[in-house]
Amino acid sequence: MIFAKIAGTGSYLPKTILSNADLAERVDTTHEWILERTGIVSRHIASLSETTTEMAVAAAKKALAAANTLPNEIDLIVVATCTPDKNFPSTACHVQQALDIPPCPAFDLQAACSGFVYGVSVVDQFIRSGHTKKALLIGAESMSRVVDWQDRRTCILFGDGAGAVVIEAAETPGILATQVSADGREKDILFLDNSPGATLQMQGNSVFKLAVNQLDKIAGKILADQNLTIAALDWLIPHQANIRIIQATAEKLGLPMEKVILTLDHHGNTSAASIPLALDIGIQQQKVKRGQLLLLEAFGGGLTWGSALIRY
């Protein structure tokens, strides 16, 4: 039987850092107001010349090195993003060209902030079917280009960056289970129109309530389906959207915050990049270690949500 496992991770963050104090010079806000409501201190912002593709490639190179994998060994590329450089060709095709990866399936996946978890589910099935041996999965976003920098409700939340993983076929389970879903009835509480100059629109209170309820349900279900309890988890690696959502979810699950990987304070919400960024940072900090049980969970516009239970 074929299974899928994470062989290596990598991440990239733009050099430019925008602090809460910097934002206070642009909009009517303060460091204290932002920190109290979101848990964010600063975020990384891509330069005018820095593209989603470039960030994706930089993260991918680190993941390939960590996995001891050459580009010509990759036979599937999936990029989760809602801020591609072009509608087409896909960001994945641009990554393929930049890394000189031979012809193989390459496509973008758009599930907003849930995109990376959706990607884990898709890649897992490609590998389990025998179609793929080594895949490159990337979450990359340039969220700073789609927010209204005059709207303090949204511009304080988002940042840019990319995270990547190499997932390969294995004889023992790595990705134990994935669950993804969506409810299009909630499409209007978080969206970005595809029109010139459009900016992200969000009903914060509605997103908060739905996110906490769904994240609690999906975490409980995926663990129960595997005959596991929350006590079995070594780390929860959630989408880094808002500290209050993360804390409320952990509390509902009965999970101490000491078991939650947090990068929100210095990354902000990087949409589909947030989980792979947090995963790689957790590994770099020697918190996340081989053999540990990880639960990834996310929610995003759509409304989409998903989880992945992984033995790292």
Q: Do 41 and 28 fall within a single domain?
A: yes
The residues assigned a catalytic role are: 113, 239, 269
- Is 229 exposed, middle or buried (CB count within 10 Å of its CB: 0-12, 13-18, 19+)? exposed
* Separation between Cα atoms, residue 113 and residue 136, nearest integer Å: 18
- Domain endpoint, select from 170, 187, 211: 170
pLDDT tens for residues 131-175?
Answer: 999 999 999 999 999 999 999 999 999 999 999 999 999 999 999
Q: Do 267 and 138 fall within a single domain?
A: no
Domains in the chain: how many in total?
2
* Separation between Cα atoms, residue 171 and residue 272, nearest integer Å: 29
Q: Do 226 and 189 fall within a single domain?
A: yes
Mean pLDDT, residues 9-16 taken together: 98
How many Å from the N-terminal Cα to the C-terminal Cα in the chain? 19
Mean pLDDT, residues 199-228 taken together: 89
Q: Do 260 and 142 fall within a single domain?
A: no
Position 179 pLDDT exceeds 90: yes
Q: Do 154 and 292 fall within a single domain?
A: no
Q: Do 147 and 200 fall within a single domain?
A: no
Single-letter amino acid code for the residue at 185 = R
Q: Do 189 and 304 fall within a single domain?
A: yes
Q: Do 229 and 274 fall within a single domain?
A: yes
Q: What is the CATH number of the domain that holds 53?
A: 3.40.47.10
Residue 168 near residue 68, CB atoms below 8 Å = no
Domain that holds residue 246: 175-311
- Domain endpoint, select from 170, 197, 217: 170
pLDDT tens for residues 258-280?
Answer: 999 999 999 999 999 999 999 99
Q: Do 43 and 131 fall within a single domain?
A: yes
Q: Do 45 and 79 fall within a single domain?
A: yes
* Separation between Cα atoms, residue 13 and residue 259, nearest integer Å: 24
Position 214 scores a pLDDT of 85
Report residue 37 CA to chain centroid gap.
21
Q: What is the mean pLDDT of the chain?
A: 96
* Separation between Cα atoms, residue 143 and residue 158, nearest integer Å: 6
Q: Do 277 and 206 fall within a single domain?
A: yes
Residue 245 near residue 269, CB atoms below 8 Å = no
The beta-strand segments (E) located in 124-279 are 134-142, 160-170, 175-182, 190-191, 201-202, 235-238
Q: b/e for 106-120, b at 16 or more Cβ within 10 A?
A: bebbbbbbbbbbbbb
- Domain endpoint, select from 152, 170, 188: 170
CA angle at residue 125 from 230 to 122, to 5 degrees? 80
Position 312 scores a pLDDT of 97
Q: Do 287 and 199 fall within a single domain?
A: yes
